[in-house]
Amino acid sequence: MTAGRWTWEGEAPAEPLIVASRTSRSKPTHPMILDRDSGGHTEGGSAGASPSQVRMPCGSKWPPEPHHCGPFKFSQGAAVRNLGLCLLAWVFLSCTPYSFSGGRTALVKTVAVPVFENETTQFGLAEALTGGIIDGFVADNQVKVADASIAEAVLNGRVLDYQRKAYTFDQNDQVREYLVEIWVAADLVKKDGSGSVWSAASIRGFGDYAADSSETMGQQRAIKKIAEDIINRTVKSW
């Protein structure tokens, strides 16, 4: 739109467009029709309007509201509000600390894991269990495993019991799977003398394995569950 002249780009609407007077604040008695080719206008309704003349369907409201007239209306106020919301969101995200650990916090920063005592007849079980727990802490990466001389806390534990039993059977009553169960006791003690961070009298780990495979597979699965339990007790969710 230019001073004293209205122009349209693109296809004309199906109906002529009624345009209100730019000077009068009262409702006009006759619609004013603009000639988009010549820039002129005619008084009256659609009668006499040529194909090059269009009316703006503004309804009966006067003065016409911006969102009622014309095919599109750019709202500067809405754009400013949206920009402000985007800026606020950016400031909030940039100032808020976040972590990839999924909302978990460690009760201690470093831990020593000496070899558990073995009260079973399973040779090498305590060493395998201790190694599995250390591997679990390393993979979780929330608590660092350190030497007992510099660690903040020490994880002490004992292997209490070990069992292997038939778990599932086939149609001929032959064992299809075995189940390995391991029970341990453990407590995490701070070296500053403040006492235990946590203590558990019995933690159970279990793992099944096929009858035609190695028992070691069941042991490894049981050890992994024990390690997960211990790590979850040391690294709390919030």
Mean residue pLDDT across the chain: 76
Query: What are the Cα distances from residue 190, in Å, to 33, 113, 144, 172?
Result: 88, 12, 14, 54
Query: Is residue 103 domain-resident?
Result: no
Burial of 56 (0-12, 13-18, 19+ CB in 10 A): buried
Confidence of residue 193 (pLDDT cuts 50, 70, 90): confident
Q: Do 76 and 189 fall into the same domain?
A: no
Q: Which of 62-66, 111-115, 193-197 has the lowest mean pLDDT?
A: 62-66
Q: Do 16 and 92 fall into the same domain?
A: yes
pLDDT tens digits for 210-231?
A: 999 999 999 999 999 999 999 9
Query: Is residue 102 domain-resident?
Result: no
Q: Do 69 and 173 fall into the same domain?
A: no
Tell which of 96, 124, 139 closes a domain: 96
Confidence of residue 195 (pLDDT cuts 50, 70, 90): confident
Q: Do 80 and 58 fall into the same domain?
A: yes
User: How do beta strands 153-169 and 110-112 pair?
Assistant: parallel
Q: Do 220 and 129 fall into the same domain?
A: yes
Confidence of residue 107 (pLDDT cuts 50, 70, 90): confident
User: Across residues 132-153, what is the average pLDDT?
Assistant: 95
Tell which of 65, 96, 127 closes a domain: 96
Confidence of residue 33 (pLDDT cuts 50, 70, 90): very low
Total number of domains constituting the chain: 2
Tell which of 50, 72, 96 closes a domain: 96
First-to-final CA distance of the chain: 60
Distance CA 49, CA 26 (A): 24
The pLDDT of residue 1:
47
Domain containing 91 equals 1-96
Most confident among 61-75, 98-112, 168-182 (mean pLDDT): 168-182
The pLDDT of residue 99:
37
Q: Which two tokens stand for residue 97?
A: 């600390």
User: Across residues 60-85, what is the average pLDDT?
Assistant: 58
Q: Which residues contact 33 (CB under 8 A, 6 or more apart)?
A: 16, 18, 19, 41, 42, 43, 44, 46, 49, 53, 54, 55
Q: Which of 9-13, 166-170, 229-233 has the lowest mean pLDDT?
A: 9-13
- Kindly tell me if the per-residue pLDDT of 94 is higher than 90: no
Q: How many other CB atoms are found less than 10 A from the CB of residue 174?
A: 9
Q: Do 43 and 138 fall into the same domain?
A: no
Q: Do 215 and 136 fall into the same domain?
A: yes
Total-model pTM = 0.57
Query: Is residue 101 domain-resident?
Result: no
The pLDDT of residue 91:
54
- Kindly tell me if the per-residue pLDDT of 59 is higher than 80: no
Distance CA 129, CA 42 (A): 95
Edge-first strand listing for the sheet containing 32-35: 41-43, 32-35, 53-54
Q: Do 139 and 186 fall into the same domain?
A: yes
- Kindly tell me if the per-residue pLDDT of 157 is higher than 50: yes
Angle of the 215-234 helix axis to the 125-140 helix axis, nearest 10? 50
